[in-house]
Structure 1
Amino acid sequence: MKNVLALIALCVTVSFQTTQAQDFPDMDKSPMDIAMLRGDNNQALIRVIYSRPQKKDREIFGKLVPYGKIWRTGANEATEITFYVDMMLNDSKIEAGTYSLYTIPGEKEWTVILNKTTNRWGTSGYSQEQDAVRINAPARTSPATIESFSIAFKPTDNGAHLMMGWDDTFIQVPFKKA
């Protein structure tokens, strides 16, 4: 009986030490997130996959993210947007499929770009010839500081506004069902 108790105590000790010895990697400084727009019957309409960099007391637009230069619209890989149905972006029809979402931030307006090339790290390999559509969206001042770069959908009668914001700035991109 003593041997059985000793064996159990040994197993518990080894198990506890193994659990305590695990070393987990650091968390991603710009964690990945998803924004999803669903329609009637919960069907998927648009999905955006992006990484969320943090402000961390930094000056963002015009400094960390320069004005007038192509931006991956987040961190890490280029932001990816998937349309499950054909949509309209202003007067341009966007066919169902997956695109990279780039922006060119400006002080007063941003250029929003849907590019046909996907699976890119940041802006490496970006080619303007692969742009499916470009539109301009006014830069707006947010009522409160946005600590983490964020993307969300604001539903409308026939689609949604894609909202993107960070620091003290946000834009709205209007999508309508085709």
Structure 2
Amino acid sequence: MTTPKKHIFLLTVLFLFTMTASVFAQDAPKPKASPAQTATGKVGAANITIAYSSPAVKGRTIWGGLEAYGKPWRAGANEATTFTTDKDIKVEGKTLKAGKYSVFMVPGETEWQVIFNTETGQWGTKRGGGANFDPANNALTVTVKPKKLDQLNERLVYDITNKGFSLKWEYVEVPVAIK
């Protein structure tokens, strides 16, 4: 037969074990709504890296809805998307010096602006909304034509090829030529 002290001790150990297990269960990491992604590739002699967060469509209208036409956007989610090149390159025929830039885009129904800004590391939007960049730090702005896609891209993705890079999200692809 066990004594009351042993019962209390066993109940206390059981209680502490249960509490510890529940505390650790609460600390389990949850998948991010817009996980961080990196696209890397080579265009000519230049090594290109695009670091971005990849949001999902989730049944929403993205272009002209969640992301308004004519307003600068952080070109991803969370922190501002970054673009790094280790060599000087020509983006849509205009020179971009080697370095690291934040990328912002201004979506439009028939054309988009792609903005390379020298400020990096900032959150992508300002408090109260709007893209978080100072236009005085724009190193280069180019205009490109979006393409309609037949298939839905649920998650935003950047692809780098030997001809440049493209953003694909929802039913839109935004190609940017690099030489």
Whole-Å separation in 2 of the counterparts to 1:83 and 1:39: 10
Q: Secondary structure at the match of 1:37?
A: strand
* 2:164 maps to 1:167: no
Is the contact made by 1:137 and 1:172 (CA closer than 8 Å) also made in structure 2?
yes
- AA partner of residue 98 (structure 2): A
| RMSD of aligned alpha carbons | 2.2
Find the counterpart in structure 2 of residue 143 from structure 1. Answer: 150
Structure 2 residue corresponding to 1:36, chosen from 40, 51, 56: 40
**Residues 4-36 of structure 1: CA deviation (Å, up to 9, x unaligned):** xxxxxxxxxx7xx85994431321100000000
1:59-138 → structure 2 map (5 Å cutoff): 59-124=61-126, 125-138=132-145
Gaps of 5+ in 1: 1-13
TM-score (norm 2): 0.80
Whole-Å separation in 1 of the counterparts to 2:121 and 2:140: 18
Whole-Å separation in 1 of the counterparts to 2:23 and 2:78: 32
- AA partner of residue 148 (structure 2): T
1:8-27 → structure 2 map (5 Å cutoff): 21-23=24-26, 24-27=28-31
Q: Which moved more, 1:18-27 or 1:102-111?
A: 18-27
Gaps of 5+ in 2: 1-16, 127-131
Larger Rg: 2
Residue 120 of structure 1: how far off its partner (Å): 1.1
Whole-Å separation in 2 of the counterparts to 1:55 and 1:116: 29
More strand as a share of residues: 1
Residue 154 of structure 1: how far off its partner (Å): 2.1
Q: Secondary structure at the match of 1:129?
A: helix
Whole-Å separation in 1 of the counterparts to 2:99 and 2:24: 45
Whole-Å separation in 1 of the counterparts to 2:85 and 2:29: 34
Find the counterpart in structure 1 of residue 6 from structure 2. Answer: none
Question: Is the alpha carbon distance of 1:68 and 1:118 closer, same or farther for their aligned partners in structure 2, counting shifts above 3 Å?
Answer: same
Percent identical residues: 31
Find the counterpart in structure 2 of residue 11 from structure 1. Answer: none
